[in-house]
C-alpha cells in the first residue's frame, strides 16, 4: 500500500532531472503518472521504468509552452486514468545573461516556460476539479527557486519568473481552497541537474526548442559554491523530489499557499 494509491498525477518536465525523480517517487507510492518531456525518448524511458516496477504511467510528449499543451496534458490524465489529483509544474530551463545583453526573446522564453505554462495548466485543470469534488485533498506543487526569493545576477528573466510562480501559488491557494486543493511551491537551491552540473568545458551547451543554451557550471566556481554550503554539497534530484512528495501527501492537508525553501545553504 502506497501513500498515494489511487491518485493520478501529472508532472511536467518529467523525462529528466528533478521532474523524472518526482514522477518515479509518486509512482512508487501508488500514483498513476502522466510523464511529459519535450522529447519522446526520455519521456518513454521514464514511463518504461515506472511500468517495469509495477506502476502506471503514460507519456504526453511536447512543449509546455504550446498553446494546446495544457488541455492535452490534463485530458491525458483524465482519459488514461480517470481523474486528476496531483499537479506538479516542474518543466523549465535557464537562459542567463546580464540585463543589458538580455534579448526580448530570452525574457519571453523563460517567462513562458516557467510562469505562463503553469498558469495555463492550472487553468485547464479547473473545470475538471470544480466538477469533480473529492473527500480528500488534491495537491498542486509549483517549482520555484531561491533565485525567485533572493534574485541572482544574470537571471533577471528566471528570477522574475520564479518570483511570479510564488505569487501564482499564493493566489491559487486562495481560489482553490474551496475545492479542497492545497497549492504550494518549492524554492530549490542548487540541485544537480544537466543544467547545473560542474563541467570542465566552458562551451557546454544543450539544445532546447532549437536554441543552444549554455549548460553546466564552471568546475572551479562549482567547487567554491559547494564549499559555502554547510553540508558541503549541492542537493540531488531525488532529494528535491522528496520535498515535492511531502507536499503531495495527505499529511500536508493543512499546508497551503506556502513556499518551502529546499536549500542547505543557510540563507
Quickly list DSSP for 190-208.
SB-STTTSEES-TT-EEEE
Cell 504526453 sits at which residue?
60
β-pair type (181-188, 138-145): parallel
Question: What pLDDT was estimated at residue 149?
Answer: 97
User: Which domains are seen in the chain, by residue range?
Assistant: 8-262 (3.40.50.720)
Q: Is the dihedral of CA 201, 21, 191, 85 positive or negative?
A: positive
- Opening angle at CA 243, ends 69 and 129, nearest 5: 40
116 contacts: CB under 8 Å, gap ≥ 6:
65
Catalytic residues: 158
Query: Which pLDDT score is estimated for 211?
Result: 77
pLDDT at 183: 99
Distance CA 245, CA 261 (A): 14
Rounded distance between C-alpha atoms, residue 126 and residue 174, angstroms: 14
The residues with which 119 forms a beta bridge, in sequence order, are none
Residue 266: predicted pLDDT: 77
Output the pTM of the full model: 0.93
Measured CA to CA, the distance from residue 241 to residue 20 in angstroms comes to: 9
pLDDT of residue 213: 72
Question: Which element (helix H / strand E) includes 214?
Answer: strand 211-214
Contact (CB, 8 A) for 141 and 186 = yes
Q: Closest by alpha carbon to 173, among 87, 49, 232, 70?
A: 87
* Whole-number pLDDT of residue 225: 78
Per-residue pLDDT of the chain in tens (267 residues, 90 and over written 9): 899 999 999 999 999 999 999 999 999 999 999 999 999 999 999 999 999 999 999 999 999 999 999 999 999 999 999 999 999 999 999 999 999 999 999 999 999 999 999 999 999 999 999 999 999 999 999 999 999 999 999 999 999 999 999 999 999 999 999 999 999 999 999 898 877 765 555 556 677 777 767 666 667 676 777 888 889 899 999 999 999 999 999 999 999 999 999 998 877
Amino acid at each position: 500500500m502506497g501513500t498515494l494509491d489511487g491518485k493520478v498525477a501529472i508532472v511536467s518536465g518529467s523525462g529528466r532531472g528533478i521532474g523524472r525523480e518526482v514522477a518515479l517517487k509518486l509512482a512508487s507510492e501508488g500514483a498513476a503518472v502522466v510523464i511529459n518531456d519535450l522529447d519522446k525518448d526520455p519521456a518513454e524511458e521514464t514511463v518504461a521504468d515506472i511500468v517495469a516496477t509495477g506502476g502506471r504511467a503514460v507519456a504526453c510528449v511536447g512543449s509546455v509552452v504550446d498553446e494546446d499543451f495544457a488541455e492535452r496534458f490534463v485530458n491525458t490524465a483524465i482519459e488514461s486514468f480517470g481523474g486528476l489529483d496531483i499537479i506538479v509544474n516542474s518543466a523549465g530551463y535557464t537562459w542567463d545573461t546580464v540585463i543589458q545583453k538580455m534579448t526580448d526573446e530570452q525574457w519571453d522564453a523563460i517567462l513562458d516556460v516557467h510562469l505562463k505554462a503553469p498558469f495555463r495548466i492550472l487553468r485547464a485543470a479547473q473545470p475538471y476539479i470544480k466538477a469533480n469534488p473529492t473527500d480528500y485533498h488534491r495537491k498542486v506543487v509549483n517549482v520555484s527557486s531561491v533565485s525567485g526569493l533572493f534574485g541572482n545576477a544574470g537571471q533577471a528573466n528566471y528570477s522574475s519568473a520564479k518570483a511570479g510562480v510564488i505569487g501564482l501559488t499564493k493566489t491559487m491557494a486562495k481560489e482553490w481552497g474551496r475545492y479542497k486543493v492545497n497549492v504550494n511551491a518549492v524554492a530549490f537551491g542548487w540541485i544537480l541537474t544537466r543544467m547545473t552540473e560542474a563541467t570542465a568545458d566552458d562551451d557546454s551547451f544543450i539544445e532546447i526548442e532549437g536554441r543552444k543554451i549554455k549548460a553546466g557550471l564552471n568546475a572551479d566556481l562549482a567547487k567554491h559554491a559547494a564549499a559555502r554550503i554547510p553540508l558541503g554539497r549541492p542537493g540531488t534530484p531525488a532529494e528535491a523530489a522528496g520535498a515535492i512528495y511531502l507536499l503531495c501527501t495527505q499529511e500536508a492537508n493543512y499546508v497551503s499557499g506556502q513556499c518551502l525553501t529546499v536549500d542547505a545553504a543557510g540563507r
